[in-house]
Amino acid sequence: MTSARPLAPPPVSLADYRPGDFAFAAPGRTLLARDPVREVVLPPGEPESGLRERLAEAFAAAGAQSAPIAVGALPFDPGAPARLAVPRTAVAGPPERARVPPGPLPRIRERREEPAAHEYARGVALAVDRIARTGLRKVVLARTLRLEADRPVDPGLLLRRLAGPDPRGYLFAVDVPAAGPRTTLVGASPELLVAKRGRTVSCHPLAGSAPRHADPGVDRERARSLAASAKDRREHAFVVAAVADALRPLCAALEVPARPALTATATMWHLGTRITGELADPGVSSLALARALHPTPAVCGTPAEEARRAIGELEPFDRGHYAGAVGWCGADGDGEWAVALRCAEVAGGQVRLFAGAGIVADSRPAAELAETEAKFRTVLAALAAAPAE
Ligand SMILES: C=C(O[C@H]1C=CC=C(C(=O)O)[C@@H]1O)C(=O)O
């Protein structure tokens, strides 16, 4: 990756993040981009050839004074336009090392769930009923937790505190002006939507979860029972099938493991499947791949159209960029996009966390509610805020 003007003496780290930057730390490297010089607006439903032209135009217009890369976030709603940026500088560094910066954190003085816990549980019951009565097979229902801090929360500090417990995840901070002025989406996602390097494409869809436990024996037992759970295996299989179906027409070869593997974050166990393929046309960009795959049933459901309708009717808030994708795409098409999970919108002292759970025929409302509470813990722990009661 080139840089017109270094941000900091390379290698960069998340400690170099400044408000307004785009930061993306993947297991392979850390990327920091600064000073957008060109906006790339992606209309919904644009075919791959149109995307290719739009990116080429943006890189040409941004000229030699910019880094040949587009960075940003795609919203959850595939019917909404996405806005990426070509930055003046983009610098890559080695993977982020685990470290939690010391220092006082703002105190959380108010918290409000939307929907309230009992309303979320009722939504899960309604979704289960809908699955029994209609063609819907899986839907991911989410909820939010609004926090008010006694002073502004520094997105850079939150980002670095997230890096400590989950160094193998995808850490990100990206401004999302559509959510409000000076609003930054900050998170530590365990899920790779898609990465593309040359001809090789890889995805690591996750679905099926169990909260971690402080006692190692109980924790191991939770992992074992997740791996053996028919309900979670079914929930996971919908995602693998959708990802494989979306990639197959684009690939000359595709490898889809027959069984998922356990994967862990500091707060959750998940079922995950690493899918790899060889693209028939290596010119297809990582951005086009992300748009072809999103939204997978890890964040939406099956069939996708019915699931989107159920989400619209059962979730009382706009997801914005939560459950969308965050990442980058270079001029050569290479790039990496993580699913925007375990994240929060930060605007001054206001923080809005998001968490969702996949609902299938045999889901139980209390267990899905507990799962969303456990998923909130990724950001709550980084803010040193107490988990939900
Ligand atoms: C929708 C979320 O997680 C997805 C990713 C992993 C496991 C999931 C699950 O088991 O439901 C979800 O599909 C979230 O963290 O908000």
**Rounded (10°) angle between helices 117-133 and 365-382:** 130
CA 299 from centre of chain:
9
φ, ψ for residue 48 (rounded to 5)? -55, -40
Q: What does the block give as tokens for 117?
A: 């816990």
Spacing, Cα 355 to ligand 1 middle (Å): 8
Q: Is 191 a catalytic residue?
A: yes
Pocket of ligand 1 (CB under 6 A): 140, 142, 191, 206-209, 270, 298-299, 341-342, 355-358, 375
Q: Which residue has the tokens 């027409």?
A: 249
Q: Within a domain: residue 153?
A: yes
* pLDDT beyond 90 at 64: no
Spacing, Cα 322 to ligand 1 middle (Å): 11
Q: Which of 113, 138, 196, 371 is catalytic?
A: 138
Instruction: Report the atom number in ligand 1 closest to the C-alpha of 209.
Output: 10
Q: Is 235 a catalytic residue?
A: no
- How many whole angstroms separate alpha carbon 230 and alpha carbon 155? 39
Q: Within a domain: residue 106?
A: no
pLDDT at position 94, please? 83
φ, ψ for residue 38 (rounded to 5)? -150, 135
Q: Within a domain: residue 387?
A: no
Q: What does the block give as tokens for 209?
A: 């979860």
> What CATH number corresponds to the domain at position 35?
3.60.120.10
Pairwise pLDDT comparison (63 vs 388), residue with the higher score: 63
Q: Within a domain: residue 46?
A: yes
* pLDDT beyond 80 at 387: no
> Which of 300, 373, 375, 379 has the most ligand 1 atoms within 8 A of CB, as the residue to mutate?
375
> Which of 185, 232, 234, 270 has the most ligand 1 atoms within 8 A of CB, as the residue to mutate?
270
- How many whole angstroms separate alpha carbon 342 and alpha carbon 213? 18
Q: Which residue has the tokens 């003046």?
A: 88
Q: Within a domain: residue 4?
A: no
Instruction: Report the atom number in ligand 1 closest to the C-alpha of 208.
Output: 10
- Average pLDDT on 175-200 reads 96
Spacing, Cα 282 to ligand 1 middle (Å): 30
Pairwise pLDDT comparison (138 vs 16), residue with the higher score: 138
Torsional sign, CA 199, 89, 32, 345: negative
Q: Which of 110, 113, 114, 191 is catalytic?
A: 191
Range of the domain at 58: 14-98+113-382
> Which of 299, 317, 343 has the most ligand 1 atoms within 8 A of CB, as the residue to mutate?
299
Spacing, Cα 209 to ligand 1 middle (Å): 7
Spacing, Cα 357 to ligand 1 middle (Å): 5
Start-to-end C-alpha separation, the chain: 46
- Cα distances from 384 to residues 103, 115, 151, 211, 221, in angstroms, run 11, 23, 14, 18, 27
- How many whole angstroms separate alpha carbon 290 and alpha carbon 70? 13
Q: Within a domain: residue 63?
A: yes
**Could you report the per-residue pLDDT of 28-44, keeping only the tens digit for each?**
889 999 999 999 999 99
The closest residue, in CA terms, to atom 10 on ligand 1 is 208
Spacing, Cα 235 to ligand 1 middle (Å): 10
Q: What is the pTM of this model?
A: 0.95
Task: Report the percentage of the chain scoring pLDDT > 70.
Answer: 94
Q: Within a domain: residue 141?
A: yes
pLDDT at position 33, please? 96
* pLDDT beyond 70 at 1: no
pLDDT at position 2, please? 41
Q: Is 345 exposed, middle or buried (0-12, 13-18, 19+ CB in 10 A)?
A: buried
**Could you report the per-residue pLDDT of 283-339, keeping only the tens digit for each?**
999 999 999 999 999 999 999 999 999 999 999 999 999 999 999 999 999 999 999
Q: Which residue has the tokens 């920091």?
A: 32
Q: Within a domain: residue 6?
A: no
Q: Which of 187, 147, 213, 160 is nearest to 327 (CA)?
A: 187
**Could you report the per-residue pLDDT of 317-330, keeping only the tens digit for each?**
999 999 999 999 99
State how many domains the chain has.
1
